[in-house]
Amino acid sequence: MSLQFIQEPLDKATPHVVPAQAVTLNVNGEDHTIQIAPWTSLLDALREYMDLTGTKKGCDHGQCGACTVLVDGKRINSCLALATVYQGKKIQTIEGLGTEENLSPLQQAFVDHDAFQCGYCTPGQICSAQGLINEGRCKTEDEVREHMSGNLCRCGAYTNILSAVMEVLHDGDVVVDNGVLITVPVASTKASSVE
Amino acid sequence: MSQTIATPPTVRLDSDVIGKPINRTDGPAKVSGAAKYAAEFGVTGPLWYGYIVSSPVAKGKITKIHADEVLAIPGVQQVFSHENVSSFAWFDRAYKDDVAPGGSPFRPLHEPEIMFNQQPVALVVAETFELARYAASVLRIEYDVEKHNTDLDSVIGEAFDAPKGKTGFVPPPKPKGDMNKAFAEAPHKVAGEYIHRAQHHNPMEMFATTVDWLGDGKKMKIYDKTQGAPNVQQYIAKIFGLSTDEARVISKFTGGGFGSGLRPQYQVFLAVMAALELEHSVRVVMTRTQMFSFGHRPHTLQKLRIASDDQGHIQALEHKALAETSQFENATETVVNWTGILYNSPNTNFDYQLSKIDVYTPLDMRAPGAATGNFASESAIDEMSYKAGKDPLDFRLLNYTYSDPTENKPFTSKRLDDCYHEGAARFGWDQRNPEPRSMRDEKGMLVGWGVAAGCWDASMQKAAAKAVLSADGHLTVNSATNDQGAGTYVIMTQMAAQTLGLPMQQVTFNLGDTNMPAAPVQGGSWTANSVGAAVKDACQEVGKKLLKLAQKMDDSPLAGVNFEDAQFVDGHIRANEDITRSVAIEDILAASGEDKIEADGKAGPNPINQLKYSMHSHNAVFVEVKVDEDLGTIHVTRVVNAVAAGRIMNPKTARSQVLGGTVWGLSMAMMEETYLNNELGRYMNHNYAEYHIPVNADIHKIDVIFVEEEDDIASPIGVKGVGEIGMLGVAAAIANAVYHATGKRVRELPLTSDKLL
């Protein structure tokens, strides 16, 4: 049995591609003018045209939250945003929250609580947490868990992310009971006998 | 039961850094966006982008690629396919990487034949990413389609014994006694079949390669997403006939791997091929959908039979598994052996077979084989405990073994019993009503408590490191190892600082560059042990040179002191017998006049010592679930994961490994499944919206207990590794808790609500 199958595109290849246009974006307080095709996403504009690679691409479909940035203080998925639409807005990325030498309180809390492992979802988690704090609606552990659930973490650092966000949200006044670490040292005697 | 919980680990000196919960040294780079992953490095000159086109059919042959249509688009540089990619290496062997299974590796763009759905069939290279993506989307390709078979159930009859040869694969243990007779005659018995389908690793970072074409012959810097830069380098060098100087592979940060980055993936081949052909810098990044186009945890069918006597002693134990593999390679995992290592039985039978279907070759995925076998065996052990009228924890303690029954060897160390006791005390297991369906919470939800154990091997590979102490007193240690999130950066810095008695901030550890001393791929939980021992060795060699230089100083207080009798503490070398005989390292450096002191270090397994023993890490997991019977929803509200894995170098990062493993176990138990449509021969839920993994709201309280072990046989530095062990036990403990809550035994993962209704 032999069948023909043609991987047929939705449209024919066009001999004329729309030329790149100048777009000015205000990112972390600075204006950047770049030449991009009109269908360039804000995520690709940041990463490929402005060398702001702190914002991550995890799915390019608005499903994972790794690309979260703040626009006028609100969190959005930059992979679902066309860059050209965001001219005239104030865009803030992870690079604008703090630097390696001068971390923001959220960034420091993420380090202290080991709220990441591979680090790839982390900028999105932190921008999302900053957006959550800006929104001012969430206070409890369950609220924070729910409102941080648009950001996937495949390493599974969720409990530590919760601890870090709750610490900053409540200025260090709240300690979350979401699991402890216990170390049982090497015993000199043999462990208790089998019954 | 032991009542002791939790005193801090023994700390020898205030200045000790090993065993302390120190923040990741790479943390500030990661939280500020400064850490560079493979697709984020800049290149010399302009960068072109490659976009991969995947096959929509599972089997057949490409008859025509209409490349001319997209090459006419201004800015498109090339369309690579089997039609114009020259054959690089003649032999299969060139495509074999360090951890390849037996068989014939997939060669991208090598021939028109299609062997699996989503096979890469073309690479479109253009001047911008947007253009490459557009051009790829309008590329027409014609196929002759052949009938495929992706249904494992239909080829059970064609199963064959899994061949030996792959790194880490141990064939099933030999049978003991008379399994069938013992099973037939025993008063209590269980038999069950267990199933899970394919699962995909899905690290957050998609596979990506940036090739920086340096314009100097064929010299390239290849920034690749991998769990082992040296493995990628030898793969690329062999295929394209390049020197190690030409093919330098760099991987500073890896956005998760979980096994997916053990083997070089096809985007690195495509990027390097395009760079060589076009003599230009090229970046190739997979899409999330393409992350489902290569290795996966294989769909596996398992059968278990267990029988016990009236006292609850296991008399018969049988574990059989059948897994899928591709048509072209034999991917093997160690699936059934662990059951025989955890429990003693006079009569046993183990079996592990493969059958071939038209998919890509399966690939090791966190706790490969063990996670599969452990779910089935710990579910069956639980079922057996009820049949024998025993508490599930008591039953496990009753059948506890102090030596490895599969090899008749003692363990180098095993504190699983303490994991059971400490974990049970923390969890409050003694409050458990043994009757299924007997416990409810204040809202009327059914409550279930379950337990399961896990086991993983503690292994060591060859590794090397180089240490350089500069005149200003700063120590730099390099090894071409990897940090996919495990904490390698910080624990190797701790190891180096501890060995030479220097403060953490005076030490830098670098990794992920093939110009550094070789290290194995990061997998199998062997990095801390193998690379840690190599780092220690390199630093000790520097220490020996320092001591000699100190003894050359006028009136040296260390005259006549052997290295073995010296200690390196607080920036000083001191005599053990009299610590007032002391010289500051900075004074030694100043007096020596040397601008640096450097040494190489290496480590590897010690078969003479180790062959007499069985080397394993263990854990015990306790889980609480709450089940809404009307909706069939399950919530895991509490987990205690007690781990015995030798010495813990950094409780903060090690805990994170166990937290992550616990989330992985929960994910495997309740969410993960790649749906294979056998009619199309295609994985259907190939994105994050339809391939479910836990979100923050799914995860609640997780207590982690480390029961430390002293073990200088399994490892010269006492470390067994924690990357895999934390995942084990979790899926079975959840299934066992669901049984306790509802009285329903679910033997097929994931435990979705439809299976409870």
The structural domain count of chain B equals 3
Phi-psi region of B367 (alpha: psi -120 to 50; beta: other; left: phi over 0): left
Q: How many CB atoms lie within 10 A of CB B238?
A: 18
Q: Do B117 and B215 share a domain, yes or no?
A: yes
Element (H, E) at A165: helix A158-169
Partner residue opposite B400 with nearest CB, options A11, A53, A194:
A194
B254 interaction partners in chain A (CB closer than 8 Å): 118
What is the model's pLDDT at position B93?
81
Which residue of chain A is at minimal alpha-carbon distance from B130? A40
Buried/exposed code over B171-185 (b: 16+ C-beta within 10 A; e: otherwise): ebbeebeebeebbee
A121–B145 C-beta distance less than 8 A: no
- pLDDT, tens digit, for every residue of A102-123? 999 999 999 999 999 999 999 9
A188: pLDDT strictly greater than 80: no
Q: How far is A67 from chain B (nearest CA, A)?
A: 11
Chain B touched by A43 (CB under 8 Å): no
B136 interaction partners in chain A (CB closer than 8 Å): none
Contacts of B741 (CB under 8 A, 6+ apart): B436, B437, B439, B446, B447, B448, B625, B626, B627
Instruction: Determine the average pLDDT of the residues in B623-646.
Output: 97
Which sign does the torsion angle of CA A30, A35, A37, A43 carry? negative
Mutate to test the interface with A, among B313, B696, B707 (most CBs of A within 10 A): B696
B623: pLDDT strictly greater than 60: yes
**CA–CA separation, B269 vs B209, rounded Å?**
9
Q: Which residues does residue A7 pair with via DSSP β-bridges, in sequence order? A: B141
Q: pLDDT-based confidence at B90, cuts 50/70/90?
A: low
* DSSP tag of A46: I
Mutate to test the interface with A, among B25, B30, B636, B722 (most CBs of A within 10 A): B30
B204 interaction partners in chain A (CB closer than 8 Å): 56, 58, 64, 66, 118, 120-121, 152-155
Return the closest-CA partner of residue B621 out of B745, B733, B458: B733
A137: pLDDT strictly greater than 80: yes
A79 interaction partners in chain B (CB closer than 8 Å): none
A112 interaction partners in chain B (CB closer than 8 Å): 23
Chain B touched by A105 (CB under 8 Å): no
Ranges A149-158, A172-181, B320-329, B356-365: which has the least confidence? A172-181
B548, burial (CB in 10 Å: exposed 0-12, middle 13-18, buried 19+): middle
Which residue of chain A is at minimal alpha-carbon distance from B637? A178
A126 interaction partners in chain B (CB closer than 8 Å): 31
Reported ipTM: 0.96
Which sign does the torsion angle of CA B427, B429, B430, B433 carry? positive
Q: How many CB atoms lie within 10 A of CB B430?
A: 10
Q: Where are the domains of chain A?
A: 21-169
Q: How far is B695 from chain A (nearest CA, A)?
A: 5
Show the tokens assigned to B64: 């025509």
Buried/exposed code over A76-111 (b: 16+ C-beta within 10 A; e: otherwise): bbbbebebbebeebebbbbbbbbeeeebbbbbbbbb
Q: Considering the domain boundaries, does residue B409 fall inside one?
A: yes
Chain B touched by A121 (CB under 8 Å): yes
Domain boundary, last residue among B604, B635, B670: B604
**CA–CA separation, B302 vs B338, rounded Å?**
14
Show the tokens assigned to B523: 């997998």
Q: Considering the domain boundaries, does residue B173 fall inside one?
A: no
Instruction: Determine the average pLDDT of the residues in B456-467.
Output: 96
Alpha carbon separation from B652 to A172, B587, B685 (Å, rounded)? 20, 34, 35
Phi-psi region of A10 (alpha: psi -120 to 50; beta: other; left: phi over 0): alpha
A190: pLDDT strictly greater than 50: no
Buried/exposed code over B99-119 (b: 16+ C-beta within 10 A; e: otherwise): bbbbbebbbbbeebebbbbbb
Q: pLDDT-based confidence at B268, cuts 50/70/90?
A: very high
B667 interaction partners in chain A (CB closer than 8 Å): 156
B86: pLDDT strictly greater than 90: no
Chain B touched by A120 (CB under 8 Å): yes
Q: Do B506 and B556 share a domain, yes or no?
A: yes
Q: Considering the domain boundaries, does residue B317 fall inside one?
A: no
Strands, sheet with B507-511, edge to edge from the N-terminal-most edge strand: B507-511, B475-479, B463-470, B596-603
Chain B touched by A170 (CB under 8 Å): no
B320: pLDDT strictly greater than 50: yes
Alpha carbon separation from A129 to A60, A74, A150 (Å, rounded)? 20, 11, 11
Q: Which residues does residue B161 pair with via DSSP β-bridges, in sequence order? A: B353
The CATH T-level fold of domain A21-169 is: Ubiquitin-like (UB roll) (3.10.20)
Q: How far is B189 from chain A (nearest CA, A)?
A: 22
What is the model's pLDDT at position B89?
65
**CA–CA separation, A129 vs A114, rounded Å?**
15
Q: pLDDT-based confidence at B572, cuts 50/70/90?
A: very high
Interface size, chain A vs chain B, as Cβ–Cβ contacts under 8 Å: 321
Chain B touched by A52 (CB under 8 Å): yes
Strands, sheet with B616-628, edge to edge from the N-terminal-most edge strand: A181-184, B701-707, B633-644, B616-628, B446-457, B439-440
Buried/exposed code over B38-53 (b: 16+ C-beta within 10 A; e: otherwise): bbbbebeeebbbbbbb
Element (H, E) at B425: helix B416-427
Element (H, E) at B210: strand B208-213
A183–B706 C-beta distance less than 8 A: yes
Mutate to test the interface with B, among A180, A184, A190 (most CBs of B within 10 A): A184
**CA–CA separation, B753 vs B637, rounded Å?**
17
Ranges B9-23, B133-147, B541-555: which has the least confidence? B9-23
A123–B708 C-beta distance less than 8 A: no
Positions of B annotated as catalytic residues are 724
Chain B touched by A49 (CB under 8 Å): no
What is the model's pLDDT at position B13?
67
Can you give the CATH number for the domain in which B274 is found?
3.90.1170.50
- pLDDT, tens digit, for every residue of A45-61? 999 999 999 999 999 99
Chain B touched by A182 (CB under 8 Å): yes
Chain B touched by A18 (CB under 8 Å): no
**Residue B478 is which amino acid?**
N
Q: How far is A179 from chain B (nearest CA, A)?
A: 4
**CA–CA separation, B355 vs B326, rounded Å?**
8
A5–B143 C-beta distance less than 8 A: yes
Partner residue opposite A154 with nearest CB, options B39, B55, B203:
B203
User: Over pLDDT 70: what percentage of chain B?
Assistant: 98
Q: Do B600 and B612 share a domain, yes or no?
A: no
Contacts of A171 (CB under 8 A, 6+ apart): none
B256–A118 C-beta distance less than 8 A: yes
Show the tokens assigned to B389: 């009228």
Q: Do B132 and B212 share a domain, yes or no?
A: yes
Return the closest-CA partner of residue A191 out of B1, B643, B405, B704: B1
A9 interaction partners in chain B (CB closer than 8 Å): 137-140
Domain boundary, last residue among B243, B265, B292: B292
Contacts of B689 (CB under 8 A, 6+ apart): A61, A63
**CA–CA separation, B315 vs B336, rounded Å?**
17
Q: How far is A88 from chain B (nearest CA, A)?
A: 23
Q: Considering the domain boundaries, does residue B591 fall inside one?
A: yes
Q: Do B734 and B615 share a domain, yes or no?
A: yes
Chain B touched by A189 (CB under 8 Å): no
Q: How many CB atoms lie within 10 A of CB B504?
A: 17
Ranges B97-101, B276-280, B478-482: which has the least confidence? B97-101
A101 interaction partners in chain B (CB closer than 8 Å): 28
Return the closest-CA partner of residue B359 out of B403, B268, B410, B298: B298
Q: Do B595 and B666 share a domain, yes or no?
A: no
If DSSP codes are grouped into helix, strand and coil, which group holds residue B102? strand
A145 interaction partners in chain B (CB closer than 8 Å): 696-697, 699
B688–A58 C-beta distance less than 8 A: yes
Which residue of chain A is at minimal alpha-carbon distance from B727? A156
At residue B611's C-alpha, the angle toward residues B610 and B617, to 5°, is 55
A16: pLDDT strictly greater than 90: no
**CA–CA separation, B219 vs B230, rounded Å?**
16
Instruction: Determine the average pLDDT of the residues in A27-39.
Output: 97
Q: Considering the domain boundaries, does residue B567 fall inside one?
A: yes
**CA–CA separation, A79 vs A69, rounded Å?**
10
Return the closest-CA partner of residue B734 out of B713, B718, B755: B755
**CA–CA separation, A144 vs A132, rounded Å?**
8
Q: Do B476 and B508 share a domain, yes or no?
A: yes
* DSSP tag of B565: G
Partner residue opposite A186 with nearest CB, options B287, B651, B710:
B710
Q: Do B435 and B471 share a domain, yes or no?
A: no
Q: What are phi and psi of B654, to 5 degrees?
A: -65, -40
Domain boundary, last residue among B272, B292, B312: B292
Chain B touched by A51 (CB under 8 Å): yes
Show the tokens assigned to B645: 């894995």
What is the model's pLDDT at position A187?
64
- pLDDT, tens digit, for every residue of B177-205? 999 999 999 999 999 999 999 999 999 99
Q: pLDDT-based confidence at B388, cuts 50/70/90?
A: very high
User: Which residue segment(s) compose the domain that B725 sits in?
Assistant: 393-459+607-757
CB B133 within 8 A of CB B273: no
Q: Do B451 and B522 share a domain, yes or no?
A: no
Can you give the CATH number for the domain in which B573 is found?
3.30.365.10
Give me the half-sphere count of Cα atoms (radius 13 Å) on the Cβ side of residue B250: 19
A7–B142 C-beta distance less than 8 A: yes
Mutate to test the interface with B, among A152, A154, A165, A193 (most CBs of B within 10 A): A154
Which sign does the torsion angle of CA B253, B258, B260, B262 carry? positive
Q: Considering the domain boundaries, does residue B162 fall inside one?
A: no
A83 interaction partners in chain B (CB closer than 8 Å): none
Q: Do B743 and B649 share a domain, yes or no?
A: yes
A61–B689 C-beta distance less than 8 A: yes
Task: For chain B, report the end-to-end CA distance as a whole number of angstroms.
Answer: 38
B708 interaction partners in chain A (CB closer than 8 Å): 183-186
Mutate to test the interface with B, among A114, A140, A162, A190 (most CBs of B within 10 A): A114
Instruction: Determine the average pLDDT of the residues in B686-697.
Output: 98
Partner residue opposite B32 with nearest CB, options A4, A99, A120:
A99
CB B250 within 8 A of CB B514: yes
B75–A17 C-beta distance less than 8 A: yes
